[in-house]
């Protein structure tokens, strides 16, 4: 091969790498901008415009607008947001439910979430003998969307529109409660309130399965995670410090807790048994 041909090929290769890098960066920036606009950005705009706030003021438009819910709820995107730990986190909860004696009892899922967590959790609860699974969310559209995913379990699942911090369910009726990445989205005073409500609705011996973000051990991951929270999820960072759910639950003396973490401590799974 002549020298000039080699140079031409190398230049073409360099151009291809530059174009691909540019396209990938543009795609990542556009995705980040999209999520910012329909999550934190919308809350900032809401804060500037709204004269009164409601119990739904903290809920992002990607959870309330049906077209956004349908657009975003795509398993590979959701798995990527949770750094490809989604399957592992859900599997941990599913295994916990299957180990629990739920025969004839009720199970509550406090707040919907994207991806296949709800169908997997419902299947596991019913296989463990649960009589009924209640799906609760503050947004009606989320419940409508969840219902579509749960057609196969029709008759065994009920949907409840309600605020996790003030549920209208009777005390002590649930044998298990799943809370999947809800706390980091709640304003700080509501985090403890949601955990208190979970405790109120569980029967003694009942289990709370909680999946959440956690303070990573690796400083690189910690720096990236800190930046993510500062930009996108301002209520999440306190889970590392002042609003650590494990510390809260253990501090009440009403729970026996186990916590495991994964991906260098970036995520936590708490199984709390009500005393
Ligand atoms: C569980 S969180 C986030 C889930 C996670 N980012 C995911 O999709 O994988 C999102 C859900 O919580 C619901 N939600 C937010 N605040 C709530 C509250 N106070 N009570 C009940 N549901 C709530 C939202 O409507 C939404 O359906």
Question: Per-residue pLDDT tens for 226-256?
Answer: 999 999 999 999 999 999 999 999 999 999 9
Q: What would the 3-class secondary structure string for the chain be? A: CCHHHHHHHHHHHHHHHHHHHHHHHHHHHHHHHHHHHHCHHHHHHHHHHCCCCCCCCCCCHHHCCHHHHHHHCCHHHHHHHCCCCHHHHHHHHHHHHHHCCCCCCEEEEECCCCCCHHHHHHHHHHHCCCCEEEEEECCHHHHHHHHHHCHHHCCCEEEEECECCECCCCCCCEEEEEEECCHHHCCHHHHHHHHHHHHHHEEEEEEEEEEEECCCCCHHHHHHHHHHHHHCCCCCHHHHCCCCHHHHHHHHCCEEEEEEEECCCCEEEEEEEEC
pLDDT band at 157 (very low <50, low <70, confident <90, very high): very high
95 in any annotated domain? yes
Residue 191 has pLDDT above 80, yes or no: yes
Choosing from 39, 111, 228, 236 the residue with most ligand 1 atoms within 8 A of its CB, the one to mutate for a pocket test is 111
Of all protein residues, whose CA lies closest to atom 15 belonging to ligand 1? 59
- Checking if the pLDDT of 6 tops 90, the result is no
What is the pLDDT confidence band of residue 1, given thresholds at 50, 70 and 90? low
Asked if residue 94 and residue 17 are part of one domain, the reply reads no
Which CATH number characterizes residue 158's domain?
A: 3.40.50.150
Do 95 and 220 sit in the same domain of this protein? yes
46 assigned to some structural domain: no
Average pLDDT value for residue range 204-224 = 98
Q: Are residues 164 and 235 in the same domain?
A: yes
pLDDT at res. 227: 97
Domain annotation covers residue 241: yes
Question: Does residue 217 sit within a domain?
Answer: yes
| Claim to verify: residue 229 and residue 128 sit in the same structural domain | yes
Predicted model pTM? 0.92
**% of the chain at pLDDT higher than 90:** 84
Q: Verify that 187 and 239 share a domain, yes or no.
A: yes
Higher pLDDT, 238 or 22: 238
Which residues form ligand 1's pocket by a CB distance below 6 Å? Answer: 59, 63, 78, 111-115, 137-139, 142, 163-165, 180-182, 185
Instruction: Assess whether 165 and 248 both reside in one domain.
Output: yes
**162/235 same-domain check:** yes
Number of domains the chain contains = 2
My answer on whether 135 and 9 are in the same domain is no
User: Binning pLDDT at 50, 70 and 90, where does residue 53 land?
Assistant: confident
Between the CA of residue 34 and those of 28, 41, 65, what are the distances in Å?
Answer: 10, 10, 14
Position 118 in a domain: yes
* Rounded average pLDDT over 142-167: 97
For the four alpha carbons of 29, 32, 35 and 38, in that order, the dihedral sign comes to negative
- Residues of the chain with pLDDT > 70: what percent? 99
Q: Tell me what the pLDDT averaged over the chain comes to.
A: 95
Residues 12 and 80 in one domain: no
- Model confidence pLDDT, tens digit, residues 62-108: 999 999 999 999 999 999 999 999 999 999 999 999 999 999 999 99
Substitution candidate for ligand 1 out of 35, 42, 43, 59 with most atoms within 8 A of CB: 59
**Mean pLDDT, range 188-211, rounded to an integer:** 98
What is the pLDDT, as a whole number, of residue 48?
A: 87
Name the residue range of residue 10's domain. 3-34
- Same-domain pairing of 20 and 154: no
In a domain, 144, yes or no: yes
Look at strands 174-180 and 157-161 and give their pairing: unpaired
Q: Is residue 198 part of a domain?
A: yes
Are 104 and 10 contained in the same domain? no
Specify if 49 maps to a domain. no
**From atom 4 of ligand 1, which residue's Cα is the shortest distance away?**
113
Same domain? For 129 and 260 the reply is: yes
């Amino acid at each position: 091969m002549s020298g000039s041909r080699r140079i031409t090929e190398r230049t073409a290769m360099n151009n291809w790498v530059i174009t691909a890098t540019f396209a990938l960066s543009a795609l990542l920036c556009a995705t980040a901008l999209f999520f910012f606009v329909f999550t934190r950005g919308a809350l900032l705009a809401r804060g500037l415009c709204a004269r009164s706030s409601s119990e739904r003021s903290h809920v992002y438009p990607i959870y309330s607008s049906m077209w956004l819910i349908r657009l975003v709820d795509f398993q590979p995107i959701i798995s990527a947001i949770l750094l490809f730990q989604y399957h592992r986190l859900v599997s941990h909860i599913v295994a916990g439910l299957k180990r629990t004696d739920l025969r004839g009892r009720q199970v509550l899922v406090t707040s919907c979430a994207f991806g296949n967590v709800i169908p997997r959790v419902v299947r596991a609860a019913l296989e463990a003998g649960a009589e009924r699974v209640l799906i609760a969310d503050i947004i009606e559209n989320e419940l409508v969307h969840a219902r579509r995913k749960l057609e196969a379990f029709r008759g065994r699942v009920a949907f409840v529109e309600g605020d996790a911090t003030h549920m209208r369910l009777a005390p002590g009726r649930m044998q298990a409660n799943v809370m999947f990445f809800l706390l980091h989205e709640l304003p700080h005073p509501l985090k403890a309130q949601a955990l208190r409500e979970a405790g109120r609705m569980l029967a003694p011996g009942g289990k709370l399965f909680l999946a959440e973000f956690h303070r990573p051990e690796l400083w690189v991951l910690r720096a990236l995670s800190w930046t993510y929270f500062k930009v996108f999820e301002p209520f999440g960072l306190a889970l590392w410090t002042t609003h650590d759910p494990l510390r809260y639950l253990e501090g009440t003396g009403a729970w026996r807790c186990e916590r495991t973490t994964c991906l260098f401590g970036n995520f936590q799974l708490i199984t709390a048994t009500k005393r």
